[in-house]
């Protein structure tokens, strides 16, 4: 478990950048005077000054002329998912850069005994270098873990399995993907304020992890001093 978690911590930083898309900054509200079909829908969360409704014209095209309200639901779910991945990525990236790595606490010395890869060896590398040295079996484990989460979201609604009667999976139906996995172990009251905080933290994390990855991959590409350099 520890080696897998260590590899996952390193990989999410790179994977989240690869999977980032235009949905990362999906528009968050709509103009009351818009002529699109979305104009009649409830105002989405996330319309904040000074940016306000970022990309309103494109949003109205995607959810009105070219799509529907369900398209907007999917775009918001995609933004939430990318934001959550980015928040995990920034946490793993920071832990690695500040030396808070599993080689200090794990009872396992090796990430892969058969290939002679020690956890401490990866900890001594940059996050991107460590990712490149994770064996194929480790990458397969990460892929499987991510796939299980995706399958859960496709087949569950509000945390309940809804495929008993067969048919099309809920997540493949229009408006079926909302970003709500039904997982709330601390029983937080899900208010608009809490949703807004998650959305904004996710947006900030997507910008941060993108900058950090570029900073390590292309020296000089991000002219901002980082605390671990």
Q: Has residue 32 got a pLDDT over 70?
A: no
Share of the chain above pLDDT 70, in %: 74
| Rounded-to-integer distance, Cα 214 and Cα 81, Å | 21
Q: Has residue 24 got a pLDDT over 90?
A: no
What pLDDT is stored for residue 26 in this prediction? 40
What pLDDT is stored for residue 35 in this prediction? 37
pLDDT tens digits for range 131-157: 999 999 999 999 999 999 999 988 888
Q: Has residue 41 got a pLDDT over 60?
A: no
Residue that is written with structure tokens 């292309």 in the block:
218
pLDDT tens digits for range 75-113: 888 999 999 999 999 999 999 999 999 999 999 999 999
End-to-end CA distance of the chain: 30
Burial of 1 (0-12, 13-18, 19+ CB in 10 A): exposed
More confident residue, 156 or 1: 156
Query: Model confidence at 62, in pLDDT bands (50, 70, 90)?
Result: confident
What does the mean pLDDT of the chain come to?
A: 78
Average pLDDT in the 178-190 region? 85
Share of the chain above pLDDT 90, in %: 38
What pLDDT is stored for residue 53 in this prediction? 61
Nearest to 6 by CA among 167, 141, 164, 149: 141
Identify whether the C-beta of residue 180 lies closer than 8 Å to the C-beta of residue 158: yes
More confident residue, 63 or 144: 144
| Rounded-to-integer distance, Cα 20 and Cα 130, Å | 21
């Amino acid at each position: 478990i520890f080696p897998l978690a260590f590899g996952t911590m390193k990989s999410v930083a790179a994977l989240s950048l690869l999977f980032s898309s235009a949905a990362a900054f999906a528009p968050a509200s709509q103009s009351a005077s818009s002529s699109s079909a979305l104009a009649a829908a409830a105002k989405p969360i996330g319309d904040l000054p000074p940016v306000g409704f970022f990309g309103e014209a494109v949003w109205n095209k995607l959810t009105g002329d070219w799509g529907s309200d369900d398209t907007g639901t999917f775009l918001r779910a995609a933004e939430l998912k990318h934001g959550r991945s980015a928040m995990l990525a920034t946490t793993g990236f920071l832990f690695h850069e500040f030396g808070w790595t599993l080689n200090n606490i794990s009872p396992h010395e090796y990430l892969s005994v058969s290939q002679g890869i020690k956890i401490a060896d990866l900890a001594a590398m940059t996050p991107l270098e460590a990712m490149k040295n994770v064996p194929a079996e480790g990458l397969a484990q990460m892929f499987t873990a991510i796939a299980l989460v995706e399958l859960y979201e496709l087949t569950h609604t509000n945390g309940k399995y809804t495929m008993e009667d067969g048919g099309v999976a809920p997540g493949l139906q229009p408006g079926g993907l909302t970003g709500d996995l039904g997982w709330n172990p601390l029983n937080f009251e899900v208010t608009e304020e809490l949703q807004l905080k998650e959305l904004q933290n996710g947006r900030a994390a997507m910008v941060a992890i993108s900058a950090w990855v570029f900073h390590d991959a292309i020296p000089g590409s991000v002219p901002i001093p980082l605390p671990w350099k």
